[in-house]
Structure 1
Amino acid sequence: MKTRLSVAAATLIALIASVVVLVQPAYAAVGLHVSGGRLVEANGTALVLRGVNHAHTWYTGQTSSFADIKSLGANSVRVVLSNGHRWTRNDANDVRNVISLCKVNRLICVLEVHDTTGYGEEAAAATLASATDYWISLTSVLRGEENYVIINIGNEPFGNSGYQNWASHTSSAIQRLRGAGFEHAIMIDAPNWGQDWTFTMRDNAQSVWNTDPARNLIFSIHMYGVFDTAAEISDYLGRFRSANLPIVVGEFGHNHSDGNPDEDSILSYTQQHGIGWLGWSWSGNGGGVEYLDLVSNFNVSSLTSWGQRLFNGTNGIRQTAREATIFSGTTPTTAPPTTAPPTTAPPTTAPPTTAPPTTAPPTTAPPAGACSATYTIVGQWQGGFQGDVRVTAGSAALRGWRVSWTLASGQSVSQAWNATVSRSGSQVTATNVSYNGNVAAGQSATFGFIGSWSGTNPVPSLTCTAL
């Protein structure tokens, strides 16, 4: 009888255990994910981020920047967004368009909420909880984009006060996102204005990692004046490597108000050890850090000395970037080159590193008519190209607009965003969509498209009509 009871009890325990196992959440490798301490694609191919930051939320009209960044060889872009706490909220339609621009330009999209910058020390900053609310509100936009999008919960989420709460606030945000069904790779920034001079992220990384049921986190350190020697850089990044925890340099520069980072060591160490990075930043810096612009006035043909270093220098983007394999077989926008990588180091206190622009970007005088349109080829390859059209209101606001042009022999339009595009013979007509038809006097809206060509690819004359 005792033996029978033991067998029955063992059977019951096994049955209960199997039920417990069945009700545990399953997190299969979906899209971009971490394996063996490295970021990999769904097919298991390692992906080393080699890209730049783009201040989209302050310059939403600069949509051609995505093609420009790609044309210089980048495989990824970290996009500045706002949840509306501190700057104008980037709504679902805008975020959907950003993801589309990343995909059409074959860039992995790292999306971040910038409003959290310096929380605890910066009075206007938002909490990680509010950033998490924002991501959850975008569930319908982000779901299904796991192959293309990394969610960077919040930029530099603590300053030099209150950073002791970094681990608990970060873990809570991660668990809320997983509870809402997000399976994306999640990037988390360090405190201390991103530079972790207190080693708060470094020393709590394992415990935070353990709170993610998907084990799909990427830690991000920002390297400015705190990291001004090769020893500091190799020590900080090396500790994550030794712990088999994924780390990227989410921001860095060649100079800063808090010191002179060792960008050469950042680049050489990261290349040697397959660590990703995203340089700060494409264009539009203000607040005294204008020297961090990689190009002047968003002009891809006007690289600054920092831009020359990051794109064309030793271990820079042109030498080291490899395009994500998810884009294989899709239409390219310009072929990126290929080859090698970067390094930097820790402590001291640091002021904010990513100040938004203090003045609006320059604009041209508004046209006199109801509206006008300009057409730019922002990227071209054999047989294909990407076009960008800017619609500008005249002396009165627009409630809607329509742009038309005639295709040359051999040209066609196959895909568009920010406009509804139709074709009748050689005539192309583009009409505003719901969210960009209202244009204030003298202001502009943009739309883009992918086209093909043979023979020649001339720029046509456009007709703009107010609706």
Structure 2
Amino acid sequence: MRSMPWLAAVGAALVAVVVTTSAAVFAAMPPAHAAVGLHVSGTNIVEANGQRFTMRGVNHPHVWFTNQTRSFADVKALGANTVRVVLGSGKRWGPSTDVANVISLCKQNRLICVLEVHDTTGYGEEGAAASLDEAVNYWISQKSALVGQENYVVINIGNEPIGNTNAAQWTSATAAAIQKMRANGFEHLLMVDGPNWGQDWQYVMRDSAQTILNADSRRNTVLSIHMYAVFNTATAITDYLNRFQANGWPLVIGEFGWRFGANEVDHETLLSEAASRGLGYLGWSWSGNTDPILDMATGFDPTQLTTWGQRIFNGANGIKATAKEATIYGGATPTVTPTVTPTPTPTSSGSCRVTYEMNTWNTGFTTNITITNTGNSAINGWRLTFTLPSGQTITGGWSASYAPTSGQITATNATWNGTLPPGGSTGIGFQATHTGNTAKPSSFALNGSTCQVT
């Protein structure tokens, strides 16, 4: 988890690569017991009928916003097939005693429900955190609501269960938690997050993956990586994913953000690789972040999608384009629209509107720009030009390419947001430094035509 009530954001770390485990070890594992409901088959998650299921969804902070039950229907309407629901064990948040109702909301809205205990976040470094063993005790207390729901529910035992202090303890703690779940009769697909606040930058999960999979008597555990600033290059992402793929280990991307700054996660590579490899992903998060830059919807309103929300739901390799409903609900297949860069069409004078919002601090700022087509015909490909005031320099941007980094700037559409129908809008933005001048550009032009500024 990145930015939520009462939690601090997780810091970045360097990524290196090593691998020592052979895929042959996985192949030599004894056969699994007959699976109940959702289960692992090789590197894939499949349903009880054997049909592959690839998670495409978002995280929803239910424990802090229990009244936002409409969110289940909203994320489904935007194309999701899965929702990861934040619960509390009572150690730090909650306790969440409404598990049966949460599952019902998932089922009513034809969503696979990934349930997670958030209290474990950063254990060993965060003094208030719960242990994985305490998380298992919570699941045992909720067993009556969970048994019989194996077709619909994945149990994510504990969110980001170890911090950066003694991350090596993750292996034994996780193996013990899995074994305790099975000893108490849970047949569900289990999900386990990596240490280092989920980002596994010390590679404890990667290098212990086979040990964890072997610990499950049901052979029904999927590993989960959280990708934020540690994974800020294509190389970091592809190398990590390659290790799991080569060894035949099941993996999902249980949380990730987007490149709202130069050193943030390379979400474009992440989405592309997830689509090409058939990996499930669950973006962080629907709404309610203390730092709203990671909100997909402003104030839980699906009609006010942010730049991040537009990207993950409506962009290339995003949820709408790649999600397929679980067959337990009927299995609707998405209509995939090819992603091509259109040839820009001129706008007429007065046919665009720009909203420019800044969030400044002592030496820098971020800017969110909304471009609206106020004309009567579609814009197919766009270039927005404006001049940055003296002393301002762009250090990174999202949802458009920016050149140069200072002076007169041209922002060119991404492949997924180049078409603006009449009345249509898109959000872009960038992060920049300043030397004291925090003024806004005085004018904007879209494809050469001056825009109204609000």
TM-score, L = length of structure 2? 0.66
CA distance in 2, matches of 1:256, 1:82: 29
CA distance in 2, matches of 1:111, 1:276: 15
What's the CA shift string for 1:374-400, capped at 9, x where partnerless? xxxxxxxxxxxxxxxxxxxxxxxxxxx
The counterpart of 2:122, out of the listed 105, 110, 118, is: 118
8 A contact 1:321–1:340 mirrored in 2: no
Residue 321 of structure 1 corresponds to which residue in structure 2?
323
Deviation, structure 1 residue 37: 1.5
SS of 1:248's equivalent in the other structure is strand
Instruction: Write the letter of the residue equivalent to 2:242.
Output: G
What pairs up with 1:350-429 in 2 under 5 angstroms? none
Residue 336 of structure 2 corresponds to which residue in structure 1?
339
CA distance in 1, matches of 2:337, 2:142: 36
CA distance in 2, matches of 1:34, 1:191: 22
Instruction: State the Cα RMSD in Å.
Output: 1.9
8 A contact 2:32–2:219 mirrored in 1: no
8 A contact 1:83–1:131 mirrored in 2: yes
What's the CA shift string for 1:148-181, capped at 9, x where partnerless? 0000000000110021100000000000000011
What's the CA shift string for 1:382-422, capped at 9, x where partnerless? xxxxxxxxxxxxxxxxxxxxxxxxxxxxxxxxxxxxxxxxx
8 A contact 1:74–1:336 mirrored in 2: no
Do structure 1's residue 174 and structure 2's residue 178 form an aligned pair? yes
Do structure 1's residue 89 and structure 2's residue 86 form an aligned pair? no
Name the CA shift for 1:203/1:26 in 2 (closer, same or farther; >3 Å): closer
SS of 1:181's equivalent in the other structure is coil
CA distance in 1, matches of 2:222, 2:136: 16
Instruction: Write the letter of the residue equivalent to 2:314.
Output: N
CA distance in 2, matches of 1:340, 1:274: 18
Do structure 1's residue 275 and structure 2's residue 276 form an aligned pair? no
8 A contact 2:61–2:85 mirrored in 1: yes
CA distance in 2, matches of 1:135, 1:106: 23
Residue 51 of structure 2 corresponds to which residue in structure 1?
45
CA distance in 2, matches of 1:328, 1:208: 33
Name the CA shift for 1:153/1:254 in 2 (closer, same or farther; >3 Å): same
Instruction: Write the letter of the residue equivalent to 1:223.
Output: M
CA distance in 2, matches of 1:55, 1:259: 25
What's the CA shift string for 1:53-89, capped at 9, x where partnerless? 0000000000000000000000000000000000121
SS of 1:326's equivalent in the other structure is coil
Residue 73 of structure 2 corresponds to which residue in structure 1?
67
SS of 1:187's equivalent in the other structure is strand
Name the CA shift for 1:101/1:336 in 2 (closer, same or farther; >3 Å): farther
CA distance in 2, matches of 1:31, 1:172: 23
Deviation, structure 1 residue 138: 1.0
Residue 160 of structure 1 corresponds to which residue in structure 2?
164
What's the CA shift string for 1:284-324, capped at 9, x where partnerless? 001xx320000000001000000000000010001000000
CA distance in 1, matches of 2:55, 2:183: 27
Residue 27 of structure 1 corresponds to which residue in structure 2?
33
Name the CA shift for 1:236/1:148 in 2 (closer, same or farther; >3 Å): same
Deviation, structure 1 residue 109: 0.2
8 A contact 2:62–2:85 mirrored in 1: yes
8 A contact 1:75–1:108 mirrored in 2: yes
Deviation, structure 1 residue 245: 0.8
Deviation, structure 1 residue 257: 8.3
**Which aligned runs of 4 or more in structure 1 are off by greater than 2 angstroms?**
24-27, 255-259, 335-341
8 A contact 1:318–1:336 mirrored in 2: no
8 A contact 1:226–1:258 mirrored in 2: no
Deviation, structure 1 residue 238: 1.1
8 A contact 1:225–1:257 mirrored in 2: no
Number of corresponding residues: 309
What's the CA shift string for 1:134-154, capped at 9, x where partnerless? 001111110000000000000
8 A contact 2:86–2:117 mirrored in 1: yes
8 A contact 1:285–1:292 mirrored in 2: yes
Do structure 1's residue 189 and structure 2's residue 193 form an aligned pair? yes
Residue 207 of structure 2 corresponds to which residue in structure 1?
203
What's the CA shift string for 1:236-259, capped at 9, x where partnerless? 011111111110100000147893
Residue 142 of structure 2 corresponds to which residue in structure 1?
138
Name the CA shift for 1:72/1:26 in 2 (closer, same or farther; >3 Å): closer
Structure 2 unaligned spans of 5+: 1-29, 339-454
CA distance in 2, matches of 1:257, 1:139: 42
CA distance in 1, matches of 2:161, 2:123: 6
Residue 14 of structure 1 corresponds to which residue in structure 2?
none
Name the CA shift for 1:338/1:78 in 2 (closer, same or farther; >3 Å): farther
What pairs up with 1:245-256 in 2 under 5 angstroms? 245-255=249-259
Instruction: Write the letter of the residue equivalent to 1:96.
Output: A
Structure (1 or 2) with the larger CA radius of gyration: 1
8 A contact 1:87–1:115 mirrored in 2: yes
8 A contact 2:62–2:86 mirrored in 1: yes
Residue 55 of structure 1 corresponds to which residue in structure 2?
61
Do structure 1's residue 79 and structure 2's residue 85 form an aligned pair? yes
8 A contact 1:320–1:340 mirrored in 2: no
Deviation, structure 1 residue 190: 0.4
What's the CA shift string for 1:92-113, capped at 9, x where partnerless? xx11000000001000000000
8 A contact 2:179–2:215 mirrored in 1: yes
Residue 307 of structure 1 corresponds to which residue in structure 2?
309
Instruction: Write the letter of the residue equivalent to 1:161.
Output: T
8 A contact 1:271–1:340 mirrored in 2: no
Residue 237 of structure 2 corresponds to which residue in structure 1?
233
CA distance in 1, matches of 2:178, 2:56: 25
CA distance in 1, matches of 2:261, 2:195: 18
CA distance in 1, matches of 2:241, 2:294: 23
